[in-house]
Amino acid sequence: MTEYQTLRVTTGDDRVVVELHRPAQRNAINAAMVADLHAVCALIEVEPRILVLTGAGTDFAAGADIAELRGRGRDEALAGINRTVFDRIAALPLPTIAAVEGNALGGGAELAYACDLRVAGACARFGNPEPGLGIMAAAGASYRLTDLVGKSVAKQVILGGRILDSAAALRCGLVADVVADGEALSTASALADRITRQAPLALRLSKAVLDAESAHPLIDDIAQAVLFESTDKSDRMTRFLERKTT
């Protein structure tokens, strides 16, 4: 069994639920948490399952660990310490869901952006205040937030210091749903339940095609060709047709 210093990890047959667990530090992302998240990714890469991320206490993650960041220099920046693990989460084969309560700021916001889907509690807040600390949001916000909400809103957040509350996040499509405080994780779990009823291979290929970086009609056709030959496709369509005739 893997020992995690900063996470509480629950593994099931169809999902892995990860709680960021540094509540006294508002779940600030430090080097130990980065290492733990890499370990979770390795687990899921070997046995693909849905990932659900949440935070202990009142916040999802209020940022990166500033004490650690202050000591980092050029070499650490070029290593992309936080970006690398967030990219790895984004590349996991099956859907990932962030259940966000309270603050998701700085690196915490970038971790949420790396997930495929986000569910927010009513008091959730998203923002990237890094320029106020003399640095930039360099762990994925510049490209992921733009993809999620468009360049104008991304500039408002990153350049203008705008904090998106849950209502604004819902309006701009950053989150799939806003629920009462304390219910983000149960709602994310229900969403995971719905996802697990779909065909795993179809989910994997659909995610890969959606994340492709350019127009990809041929990739779509190839992925569909693989699915058309799967027994899961045949079985599911047979069950559908049999229900229609009864």
**Chain segment 67-78, per-residue pLDDT in tens:** 888 888 888 888
Residue 241 sits at φ, ψ, to 5 deg, of: -65, -35
Per-residue model confidence (pLDDT) at position 229: 87
Q: Among 197, 215, 230, where does a domain finish?
A: 197
Give me the count of residues in the chain.
246
- 11's tokens: 């593994």
**Same domain, yes or no: 44 and 129:** yes
Pairing of strands 164-165, 125-127: antiparallel
**Same domain, yes or no: 143 and 204:** no
**Same domain, yes or no: 52 and 159:** yes
**Same domain, yes or no: 204 and 185:** no
Q: Is the pLDDT of residue 173 over 60?
A: yes
End-to-end C-alpha distance for the chain, whole angstroms: 48
Give me the number of domains the chain comprises: 2
Residue 215 banded pLDDT, cuts 50, 70, 90? low
Q: Which of 45, 47, 110, 183 is catalytic?
A: 110
Q: Is 19 a catalytic residue?
A: no
Q: Are 17 and 50 in contact (CB under 8 A)?
A: no
Residue range(s) defining the domain that contains residue 225: 200-244
Q: Which residue has the higher pLDDT, 99 or 73?
A: 99
Q: Which of 130, 183, 213, 229 is catalytic?
A: 130
Per-residue model confidence (pLDDT) at position 179: 98
**Same domain, yes or no: 138 and 211:** no
HSE (CB half, 13 Å, CA atoms) of 42?
Answer: 8
Residue 1 banded pLDDT, cuts 50, 70, 90? low
Q: Is 130 a catalytic residue?
A: yes
